[in-house]
Structure 1
Amino acid sequence: MKAGTGLIAGQRPTPELAHEAVLAALAAAGLERADNVILLLSRDFIRNPQPAVLAAARAAGCLAVCGCTASGLFTEHGWQMDQPAAAALVYASPGGETPADSPILSFSGHGRLPFEWQDDAPRAGLLDAEAAAWSLARTSDSGCAEFRLPSLRTRLARSSGLRRLGDALPVDACRGFELGRVGGHRAVDSLYRALPPELRERPPLHQIVALRHPDEPGIAILSAGGDGSLMLADTLRDGETITWAIRQPLAAEQDMRQSLSAAAASQSKPDFALMFSCIGRGPLFYGNDDRDLLAFRETFPDTPLLGAYGTGQIIPQGGQNRLFHNTVLTLLFESTHV
């Protein structure tokens, strides 16, 4: 199986960027035309992405072009966040059966996970608020696009990047989104008791979440009240248990490496990969570098990778499709052809 990626940046969001990105990907794969193209464009293209999508289709010689705009783009060679850019992955598959449990590649520009996607077939992909999306080389009017990559087996690796702070605690009082008491203490006091001493004077609330379960999305803290309560991004019920958790660069990098190592140990080397990361991770989180991308390159050297930074990651979890935040979803693909 042949696959390759290309990332091209420029001064203006022109269709030529998409055309050149596909040509670069074809050259990297050693192909003259592609069977499928995943095209990602920077947010500079939101107003009118269709010309760039068509330019990519012409360059690839196929109409199987899917993708979306995103807050930042990257390939295995590097990332781009501050210029108009286009990134493409092309592949030619020798054919084969597509496993029934292979997730549908899904892109959305909605503010939250579309309701109809929550309980249907497994989905994996990216949500970026107000993004444009396309499939089969046509921009979607609904802001959503979906595509099933044929003849491929898929493995998923998820890294939440969270460091848990202590044991699970019971919720004593919660009214709607307002968390009043946890583990016999005011919610703020419970959180302060769990934090390392150096963080108690100025708690980084934007990096702290409440976890119902390690496999579920974390619940963000929106604000702290003068009465010791905490305003959350989701509701809790009295009697539930939560664990406080925090996002920190070192813990996040370690979690990313562990998730990739577990995926690498279970199967053979992938033919290519997709990675959907949070705008709150990557260079903005690690300090002008993407340690998650570095971990991928070290775990899967010379593997073509296409990725994007967005506001949410769509992940099949526990029989449902869930929207995660501050998470890195890596999809590893290999041909089903024997």
Structure 2
Amino acid sequence: RAVLGASGTGVLTERGEAEGGPAVAVLVVRSDGPLLASPFLLADREAIDTGAGAELAERAAPAVAEGGCLLILPDAMSLDPHGLPRALADGLGPVPVLGGVAAGSPVFELYAADVATRALPALAVSGARPVVGVAQGCQPIGEPYVVTGGEGNVVRAIAGRRPLEVLREALRAVPDLERRVRQAGVFAGLAINPAKSPLERGDFLVRNLAGVDRETGALAVAEAVRIGQTIQFHIRDAQAAREDLEAMLDRVKAALAGRRPAFGLYFNCAGRGQGLYGVPGHDVTAIRRRLGDWPLVGFFGNGEFAPVGGRNFFHNYTGVLALFPES
């Protein structure tokens, strides 16, 4: 038996979503077939970083050697959100890493009969590879361009121009700009595979714009950016999030190829939900309408983990859906 869980700002099942108040969501899975689950716990960690990721990868590798995935529910207080998935990728290769970051007040994690903090509970699932969809809630604006100047996370030139000028040009092309920008956030999208053409939704790693230098026109991005990398700005609001979720569900439905999910997991960001859409239960309603009725559980967290373009990343503002089809 394996029991795994985490606190969140809300919880969800196939019946709906509960935010901002006491609630619990539980999914019980029994398998008489090939599906096996191996639990792990790294407790009382001052830093859930590359060291913790390397240790977890070493312990979990035998369980996912023949295929499967790794579910993680780390504590936000000690998490290195980029170092952890990087170390897991180094140790596990292409194995999908899925999960959400524990949230709420207080923040805690569940493992077996214990409640922990500053912990990294994990579950290595073997015998089945889930169908995964990532809805980043964003719409590309403007055109994709190549980064031609910068260092670290600071972009100093895009296609030989000042990045702030390129951003303003992209924003001017947004329909109903004044209303949408008032409600929206603007982000940088970094192409996962710049050789792909054309680049579409889901082809980018979406990151916050962390700062702007109005004198030089440079932009800081919450991710290291390389010269030669393809960048395209994105806008995030309720309209973009709805469209992106529907596009993700279309991709998941196609990948299921007629199979029915035995159960699913949905890791949603605390920045989505009713605060984004203005109505409760939006994402769960859309999932059921598009993919049918089957057991689903999840929570609203401080960040999400999922692969994009075959590589594992930490995300913000996303909805990550993992479906385990019936065998």
Q: Which bin holds the TM-score, normalised by the shorter protein?
A: 0.7 to 0.9
| 1:96 aligned onto 2:34 | yes
- Please, which runs of 5 or more residues in structure 2 have no aligned partner? 37-63, 192-201
Relative to structure 1, is the Cα distance of residues 160 and 197 closer, same or farther in structure 2, using a 3 angstrom cutoff?
closer
Q: Which amino acid aligns with 2:141?
A: L
Q: CA deviation at 1:244?
A: 1.0
Q: 1:242 to 1:205 in 2, by over 3 A?
A: farther
Question: Helix, strand or coil for the counterpart of 1:281?
Answer: coil
Q: Report matched runs for 1:183-262 at 5 Å.
A: 183-195=159-171, 196=174, 198-199=176-177, 203=181, 207-213=185-191, 214-227=202-215, 228-262=217-251
Instruction: Give the conservation status (yes or no) of the 8 Å contact 2:75–2:117.
Output: no
From 8, 12, 18, the counterpart of 1:74: 12
Name the structure 2 match of 1:165: 141
The answer to whether the 8 Å contact 2:304/2:315 transfers is yes
Partner of 2:71: 105
Indicate conservation of the 8 Å contact 1:107/1:127, yes or no. yes
Please say which of residues 286-295 and 93-102 is displaced more in the overlay: 93-102
Q: What is the alpha-carbon distance in structure 1 between the residues aligned to residue 214 and residue 25 of structure 2? A: 47
Q: CA deviation at 1:204?
A: 5.7
Residue 128 of structure 1 and its aligned partner are, at CA, apart by 3.3
Partner of 2:274, secondary structure, is helix
Following the alignment from structure 2 to structure 1, what is the Cα–Cα distance between the partners of residues 12 and 300? Answer: 8
The structural deviation recorded for 1:85 is 1.7
Give a deviation string over 1:60-103, Cα, whole Å, max 9, x none. xxx52111111211111121121122110112222335583211
C-alpha separation between the residues in 2 aligned to 1:162 and 1:84?
A: 30
SS at match of 2:165: helix
Cα RMSD (Å) of the superposition?
2.7
User: Aligned in 2, Cα 1:193/1:299: closer, same or farther, shift over 3 Å?
Assistant: same
Pairing 1:309–2:300 present? yes
- Of structures 1 and 2, the one scoring higher in RCO (CA 8 A, sep 6+) is 2
Distance 1:124 1:206 in 2: 27
CA distance in 2, matches of 1:186, 1:163: 22
Q: Where does 1:1-338 land on structure 2 (aligned, <5 Å)?
A: 63-96=1-34, 100-110=66-76, 111-113=79-81, 114=84, 116-121=87-92, 122=95, 123-128=97-102, 131-140=107-116, 142-149=118-125, 152-195=128-171, 196=174, 198-199=176-177, 203=181, 207-213=185-191, 214-227=202-215, 228-265=217-254, 266-318=257-309, 320-336=311-327
Name the CA distance, whole Å, in 1 between partners of 2:74 and 2:156.
34
- Aligned partners of 2:180 and 2:17: how far apart in 1? 32
Aligned partner letter, 1:75: T
Which deviations, in whole Å up to 9, do the C-alpha atoms of 1:7-28 show, x marking residues without a partner? xxxxxxxxxxxxxxxxxxxxxx
Between stretches 145-154 and 253-262, larger displacement belongs to 145-154
Deviation track 1:250-291 (CA, whole Å, cap 9, x = no partner) reads 232222122223322324111111101111222111113343
Contact conserved, 1:119 with 1:320, CA < 8 A, in 2? Answer: no
Whether contact under 8 Å (1:68, 1:134) holds in the other structure is yes
Q: Offset of 1:156 from its aligned partner? A: 1.0
- Residues 147-174 of structure 1 show CA distances to partners (whole Å, capped at 9, x for unaligned) of 1346555211221222111221122332
In 2, the alpha carbon distance for the partners of 1:239 and 1:150 equals: 38
**Matched-pair contact (CA < 8 Å) for 2:107–2:117:** no
Identify which range, 269-278 or 93-102, moves more after superposition. 93-102
Residue identity in the other structure for 2:251: A
Evaluate the alpha carbon distance shift between residue 156 and residue 279 of structure 1 in structure 2; reply closer, same or farther with a 3 A threshold.
same
Are the counterparts in 2 of residues 109 and 144 from structure 1 also a CA contact under 8 Å? yes
Q: Give the distance between the partners of 2:274 and 2:157, measured in 1 at CA.
A: 36
CA contact (8 A) 1:152 1:335 kept: no
Q: Secondary structure, in 3 states, of the residue corresponding to 1:167?
A: coil
Q: Which has the larger radius of gyration?
A: 1
- State the TM-score, normalizing by the size of structure 1: 0.72
Identity of aligned residues (%): 27
1-side partners of 2:178 and 2:162: how far apart? Answer: 15
What's the secondary structure of 2:250's corresponding residue? helix
Given residue 312 of structure 1, which amino acid in structure 2 is its aligned partner? Answer: G
Q: Secondary structure at the match of 1:87?
A: coil
**8 Å contact from structure 2 (residues 35, 125) kept in 1:** no
Question: 5+ residue gaps in structure 1?
Answer: 1-62
SS of equivalent residue, structure 2 residue 33: coil
- Kept in 2: contact 1:93–1:151 (CA 8 A): no
Q: Is the 8 A contact 1:104 1:124 kept in 2?
A: yes
Equivalent residue pairs, number: 274
